[in-house]
Structure 1
Amino acid sequence: MSDDHVYLSLAEGHDEGGDARWAFGTGFEDPLHGVDTAVPAGVDATELAATCLALGDDALVSAQRLAEWTTRAPELEEEVALANIGLDLLGQARLLYARCGQVDGTGRGEDAYAYFRDADDFRNVRLAELPGGDFAFSVVRLLVLSSWRLAHFERLAASPDPVLSAVAAKGVKELTYHRQYAADWAVRLGDGTPESHRRMRAALHQVGPYLGELFTAYDVRDEVVAVLAQVTEAAGLPMPAWRPTPGAGREGAHTEHLAPLLAELQGVARAHPGAVW
């Protein structure tokens, strides 16, 4: 199966006669067009849907937070980079939501998952929903989440479900860049001025309490810790501390920050359901 059939650019399929989607404009084709979407024998459809939903929610919420840097990033080059990373994650969310709707028995489309669920229906990890803070915090969060997601996607590339496997294989390439971008900035800021070093230490302290949730969600702790250790050592920074935090976002228990984020994300779609633009 070609990845090109599974992962379509946001710029493809944009014509006036196509299907309208609030999330992505008018006329985009089904992102799983041409792919055999039958659930393979031996694959638990409920578990597959839950995995796609959770990873889709992580990507959508992370993309929304990254979009907040538009017009606010330290330099134009970084604004473009963060926007592109957000678009990569939005593309992943599209595919994961589409797959979820095909295997969870509801037949729902992408917009139903993105725009017409409340905060307690989301299954993203809480780290993704925290307010953006300063640039140092966004760098640290991106480093942690991209390292964690990359390690998980590398495993999912061998999934018995061909759709999830293809989505993960394509995502590995994107997430490798996301992680490298964040690592480069982490070293630059940690080993920079006293002020940038101070901000990075503060960001690591803020992120620390949310790491335990990542490490209980999937068995990738050793890989993620190794990456963080390498980067923080190069940056002259301390490793963030963590403690086990089972459940939380994966069970719908979120911080107070998710609902306002979703209100902004979903407001227009809910005010004009079914509208075309």
Structure 2
Amino acid sequence: MTPIAAVASITPVLTPRVRYILRIADTCLVHAQRLAEWCGHGPVLEEDIALSNMALDLLGQARALLTHAGRLDGNAFDEDQLAFLRDERHFFNLTLVEQPMRRGSAHAPGTDFADTVLRNFLLATWLRLLWEELQRSDDAELAGIAGKAVKEAQYHAQHAGDWVVRLGDGTPESAARMRAALERLWPYTHEMFVRDAVDEAAAASGLGPVRDALHDDWQHAVAEVLLDADLPPPSTTPFASTGTQGRHSEHMGFLLAEMQTLQRSFPGGRW
């Protein structure tokens, strides 16, 4: 492959509508990237394949949303440009998805499969509720994406929930790891339900729900699984993450460097 001249980072026009869609797209994209890190490292072959397949589902959702956001933006950015040529401050994913969750990952000592299983469950439950609401969006393209994605999220939530129960109600070792994972991850869930001007504009226009409208149903669904897993939910903390505002943890820059290196080195390259 012959390299071509490097191009500058792109900056989309961040109307409330575009930003709302990018929040979902970026959450799916980064979550897919983190799940894909388990390829070849799963605890059993079947789960290795399952995590990879769920990553592909999320990647497909992200691609559809990024393509749609590019059309709304007005700059005609395509999915690859939006994924690989935006700077960190122009990503709007939940901070939870950018946290490294595989033992041996850079800058993530002490994390393991329990963290990945639990994060997948918490996020899939949230995404399932969000996709259900977005099927009624006034944006026909977004509603169509949601109609397909909700079925995938239902499977992801069920699969991950089964693992949460299996490990939480398993051996003393697996239960201890799940309790530790729950303490680590729970503070990041607050960001899933923070209402702001972008949410309010989306709700007012019929694009989609405000995030806090999902809270009670999410909490109920999560509490049922945690009860079966014998895992009491941690207490609420004052911690507030800000990834959906474009302000990320220290892990995001490393993730983007790995994810974007080929496109940044050979922008627009052809194989």
Q: Normalised by the size of structure 1, how large is the TM-score?
A: 0.81
Q: 1:224 aligns with which of 208, 218, 226?
A: 218
Distance 1:247 1:103, change over 3 A: farther
1:127 maps to which residue? Answer: 96
For 1:141-185, what per-residue CA distance to the aligned partner results, in whole angstroms no more than 9, with x for missing partners?
A: 001111111111110000011100000111100000000011000
Q: Shift of the alpha carbon at 1:244?
A: 6.2
1:30 maps to which residue? Answer: none
Distance 1:243 1:249, change over 3 A: same
Q: Shift of the alpha carbon at 1:49?
A: 1.4
1:59 maps to which residue? Answer: 28
Distance 1:72 1:127 in 2: 21
> Any stretches of 5+ residues in structure 2 without a counterpart?
1-13, 102-110, 196-210
2:168 maps to which residue? Answer: 190
Q: 2:256 aligns with which of 243, 257, 262?
A: 262
Residue 54 of structure 1 aligns to which amino acid in structure 2? Answer: R
1:199 maps to which residue? Answer: 177
User: Percent identity of the aligned residues?
Assistant: 45
For 1:114-165, what per-residue CA distance to the aligned partner results, in whole angstroms no more than 9, with x for missing partners?
A: 1001111110010000011311000110011111111111100000111000
Residue 206 of structure 1 aligns to which amino acid in structure 2? Answer: R
Written as runs of structure 1 = structure 2, the 5 A alignment for 1:126-145 is 126-132=95-101, 133-145=111-123
Matched residue of 2:194: which SS? helix
For 1:36-72, what per-residue CA distance to the aligned partner results, in whole angstroms no more than 9, with x for missing partners?
A: xxxxxxxxx9333112111110011000000110111
1:110 maps to which residue? Answer: 79
Bigger Cα displacement from structure 2, 70-79 vs 209-218: 209-218
CA contact 1:213–1:245 (8 Å) conserved in 2: no
Matched residue of 1:108: which SS? coil
Distance 2:186 2:89 in 1: 23
* 2:253 paired with 1:275: no
Q: Shift of the alpha carbon at 1:242?
A: 3.1
Equivalences, count = 233
Q: 1:242 aligns with which of 236, 244, 249?
A: 236
Q: Normalised by the size of structure 2, how large is the TM-score?
A: 0.83
* 2:33 paired with 1:84: no
Which protein has greater RCO, CA pairs closer than 8 Å, 6+ apart? 2
CA contact 1:216–1:244 (8 Å) conserved in 2: no
> Any stretches of 5+ residues in structure 1 without a counterpart?
1-44
1:36 maps to which residue? Answer: none
Distance 1:247 1:136 in 2: 21
Residue 155 of structure 2 aligns to which amino acid in structure 1? Answer: Y
For 1:227-273, what per-residue CA distance to the aligned partner results, in whole angstroms no more than 9, with x for missing partners?
A: 11100100111113334666711111100001101100000111011
Residue 242 of structure 1 aligns to which amino acid in structure 2? Answer: T
For 1:91-125, what per-residue CA distance to the aligned partner results, in whole angstroms no more than 9, with x for missing partners?
A: 00000000001111211000111100111111001
Residue 225 of structure 2 aligns to which amino acid in structure 1? Answer: V
Distance 1:80 1:48 in 2: 35
